[in-house]
Amino acid sequence: MSNLDKSLVAILSDLIAIPSPYPPGESVDICAYAAKRLKAAGYQVETVTKTRKVDNVVARLKAKAKGPSVVFNAHVDTVGVGERANWNTDPFKAALKGGKVYGLGAGNCKGSMAVQLWLAEEIARRGGPASGEVVFTFVADEENLGPDGMAHLRATGKVRPDVLILGAQTENQLIVAERGVLWARITTKGKAAHAGNPAAGDNAILRMMHLVAVLQTYYDKVLPGRLSGAMKSTVNVGMFHGGHNTNVVPSACTVEIDRRLLPSEKVKAAFTELKKVVDSAGEPRGSYKVEFLTGTNGFFAPENGQGVAAFEKAIYARLRKRAKFLNATGVSDGRYFADDDIEIINFGPGSGAQGHAANESVPVSQMVDAAHIQLAVVGTLNGLAG
């Protein structure tokens, strides 16, 4: 193994050994580890906390000359271990086998975090950026889709990137477009009665079934035409709850709906559309309610942008292959910056199929390639003083 291989494996081994699963989502120890390394490297480091025990790290290195703010990001939280018997190794002890590092979070997202920590230290060793600033953010609350991580850093202005680079399992290819997401809740009301005399009641589940059927019929007609390359506009009824006993006519029912939106679709308009369809179903007003839960718009980084161009150049130089642009199934923390007119790029080692699975792993060779590629990207965008 080269010195770089050894360095990356050592950092990743440290990270895997620091538990940071959601739930509960505590990130104090792993953020303290990152902060200590970054301070020692000469970065201006701040630990930012909105909710107790949910820490985030922001570390910056600024040049005197003007230039872009290039912000790197990796989330420190993981999913839980799940069924321990499904693991072939200790989830909290890195295992190196066949050129891969195994452990909880190895791919999602501690592999990228290890690369970014090495990158931060290497940039400092080379004298820092020649222009602009490089910022490294290590955040919690990503697995929760919550407000205490990257969303909080944006809301408080702790980072204002021109180019945002998010660690992701892309096998060192690029995701520059991402769908938006809308979550909505529909609640129906009825009247309880004995199941032996259902006519005496008003069945909230049947009312909900009608509303959902009207919605699905509508979306089945309009969504197939909403396409952008490989991206599709979709809808899913993810939760359906109603009633409290089999022998009682249910008086309440709730569903929660997930809408994935093309970058050209906006969350506010998508919610208005959903509510309009429900209102057209003919159920009595006051017998149902439509609520907005959360949502963020999608984004699309132009392929001729400075950040994307820098990655394309660096990927070809390292891999001798043209960069591939992948389609994102899920959403990233980049969604909080979707309306900021910046370049948002997902990039990193590991396969997406490895995330959230037992015996998760990341190839060391991909970590090494990711380190070289991102160092070259910083060289292109900011220059290196040394």
Provide the pLDDT for residue 131. Answer: 98
264 and 348, same domain (yes or no) = no
Contact 122, 136 (CB under 8 A): no
- Residue 38 belongs to some domain of the structure: yes
pLDDT in tens, the chain (386 residues): 899 999 999 999 999 999 999 999 999 999 999 999 999 999 999 999 999 999 999 999 999 999 999 999 999 999 999 999 999 999 999 999 999 999 999 999 999 999 999 999 999 999 999 999 999 999 999 998 899 999 999 999 999 999 999 999 999 999 999 999 999 999 999 999 999 999 999 999 999 999 999 999 999 999 999 999 889 999 999 999 999 999 999 999 999 999 999 999 999 999 999 999 999 999 999 999 999 999 999 999 876 799 999 999 999 999 999 999 999 888 899 999 999 999 999 999 999 887 788 999 999 999 999 999 999 999 999 999 97
Cα separation of 47 and 116, whole Å?
A: 17
318 and 306, same domain (yes or no) = yes
Amino acid at 256: E
100-102, strands of its sheet edge to edge: 95-97, 100-102, 361-363
Provide the pLDDT for residue 32. Answer: 98
Contact 355, 108 (CB under 8 A): yes
- Residue 92 belongs to some domain of the structure: yes
290 and 320, same domain (yes or no) = no
47 and 146, same domain (yes or no) = yes
- Residue 242: exposure state from Cβ atoms within 10 A (0-12, 13-18, ≥19): buried
Show the domain range for 341.
3-178+298-381
- Residue 374 belongs to some domain of the structure: yes
How many independent structural domains does the chain possess?
2
Cα separation of 295 and 79, whole Å?
A: 22
67: domain CATH number is 3.40.630.10
Contact 143, 79 (CB under 8 A): yes
Provide the pLDDT for residue 84. Answer: 95
81 and 62, same domain (yes or no) = yes
* β-strand pairing of 65-75 with 131-139: parallel
